[in-house]
Copies of this chain bind each other. A is one copy, B any other.
């Protein structure tokens, strides 16, 4: 982790504006006392900085509820339309897009279902661009960023998709393709980021979901494949090149099935979507995990046994992650959230085999943001530049729109 240190007065002001805006964005509405507690700055400094953010249209100060005698105190809250982002989640079967305002307000969203044979990169760029145009059409506000989630391994430097096995993509320069497509004359071009789906899910669940405020969290994305996003000491663990967290390709069953990645017995081959349908004997009949769970609930014995089998493998891999990370929270996202209630006995049986101290530390939970962890994580990623330098990003955006 690099520690940002202010070396000039300007740096310090920028850092302090960023700290206040981030706190209001995540926790607003907040009182002056909350801001003092969260930032350690004094009231008068906070007053000056909140005013600057208010003048920039990012924060509003309103009268809070009157507490006891005296005037009600001022409360700072984010202005949702003060800064907008577009968040996209490209999945195998559909692309979700949302227009999100400061503070995490979802204004509008849409789903573009893909053809049965999936989506290729050029189509995906077109779907994203058209969804962006549609959602922005009636919106008022300043667009400051666009972030796209991909179920694959992403180079964070340039948004290159190195491999997204379940989309069938390899070495796709998605960041560049999006920048090119979005630079239509007259169109507002925000900063563009591409991220891994599970990393973004982890981010959202850490900021606003089931792992809010915890030190360490593992988010598992359960889609066609299984991804992992890992927050340690409050920051996303990226690994050297930004490629870490590929827990779905942890080999747990060397004698098992061949994975799309080319290795045999990856965790994904035992708990990914196809594995759940196969274990339940329903591959030909149903298309998603929720249907398997419903079949089990309505008494389908094969489905029940299949889920128990998947639960054993889920628990085995979770036990590995507990032993390796000693985490505080593991969030079972995507289809895994439907499985957890069904398989908790089998899962806990395996996790119980880890060391008592670690087992007692960890909470296995479903995502508070339900199916939207990754989409909302893309929104958080898109807000990141603004939350690091609020006025700088607004100035850059204004300059771009004027040119």
Please name all residues of chain B whose beta carbon is closer than 8 Å to the beta carbon of A237 when the two chains form the complex: 232, 325
Task: Say whether, besides A353-B263, A358-B243, A251 and B326 are in contact (CB < 8 Å).
Answer: no
Task: Say whether, besides A162-B355, A233-B1, A320 and B240 are in contact (CB < 8 Å).
Answer: no
Produce 1/0 per residue, A338-366, CB < 8 A to B: 00000000000000011111100110000
Please name all residues of chain B whose beta carbon is closer than 8 Å to the beta carbon of A153 when the two chains form the complex: 355, 357
Please name all residues of chain B whose beta carbon is closer than 8 Å to the beta carbon of A316 when the two chains form the complex: 251, 254
Please name all residues of chain B whose beta carbon is closer than 8 Å to the beta carbon of A252 when the two chains form the complex: 251-252, 254
Please name all residues of chain B whose beta carbon is closer than 8 Å to the beta carbon of A185 when the two chains form the complex: none
Please name all residues of chain B whose beta carbon is closer than 8 Å to the beta carbon of A361 when the two chains form the complex: 239-241, 243
Q: Which of A228, A233, A235 has the most CB of B within 10 A?
A: A233
Task: Say whether, besides A228-B324, A239-B326, A325-B239, A155 and B251 are in contact (CB < 8 Å).
Answer: no
For residue A264, which residue of chain B has the nearest CB?
B353
Contact B324 A247 (CB under 8 A): yes
Q: Which residues of A from 224 to 242 have beta carbons under 8 Å from B?
A: 228, 232-235, 237-242
A327 close to B (CB within 8 Å): yes
CA distance A155 to B357 in the complex (A): 9
A328 close to B (CB within 8 Å): yes
A319 close to B (CB within 8 Å): yes
A246 close to B (CB within 8 Å): yes
Q: Which residues of A from 250 to 264 have beta carbons under 8 Å from B?
A: 250-255, 261-263
Shortest A322–chain B CB gap in Å is: 9
Please name all residues of chain B whose beta carbon is closer than 8 Å to the beta carbon of A261 when the two chains form the complex: 353, 355
Q: Which residues of A from 1 to 28 have beta carbons under 8 Å from B?
A: 1, 3
Please name all residues of chain B whose beta carbon is closer than 8 Å to the beta carbon of A358 when the two chains form the complex: 239, 241, 243-244, 246
Q: Which residues of A from 303 to 339 have beta carbons under 8 Å from B?
A: 316, 319-320, 323-328
Please name all residues of chain B whose beta carbon is closer than 8 Å to the beta carbon of A323 when the two chains form the complex: 246-247, 249-250
For residue A320, which residue of chain B has the nearest CB?
B250
Tally of A interface residues using CB under 8 Å:
51
Please name all residues of chain B whose beta carbon is closer than 8 Å to the beta carbon of A155 when the two chains form the complex: 357
Task: Say whether, besides A233-B1, A251-B316, A255-B255, A245 and B357 are in contact (CB < 8 Å).
Answer: no
For residue A270, which residue of chain B has the nearest CB?
B254
A221 close to B (CB within 8 Å): no
Please name all residues of chain B whose beta carbon is closer than 8 Å to the beta carbon of A320 when the two chains form the complex: 249-251
Contact B243 A326 (CB under 8 A): yes
Contact A163 B355 (CB under 8 A): yes
Cβ-defined partner of A357 (8 Å) among B243, B254, B356: B243
A215 close to B (CB within 8 Å): yes
Known interface pairs A162-B356, A262-B353; 12 further A-B residue pairs with C-beta atoms within 8 A, sorted by A's residue number = A153-B355, A216-B239, A237-B325, A239-B361, A240-B362, A244-B358, A246-B323, A246-B324, A249-B355, A250-B323, A252-B254, A261-B353
Give 10 closest A-B pairs by Cβ, nearest first.
A239-B326, A244-B326, A246-B323, A243-B326, A263-B353, A250-B320, A249-B323, A240-B361, A240-B328, A1-B233
Interface residues of A, Cβ cutoff 8 Å to B: 1, 3, 153, 155, 162-163, 215-216, 228, 232-235, 237-247, 249-255, 261-263, 316, 319-320, 323-328, 353-358, 361-362
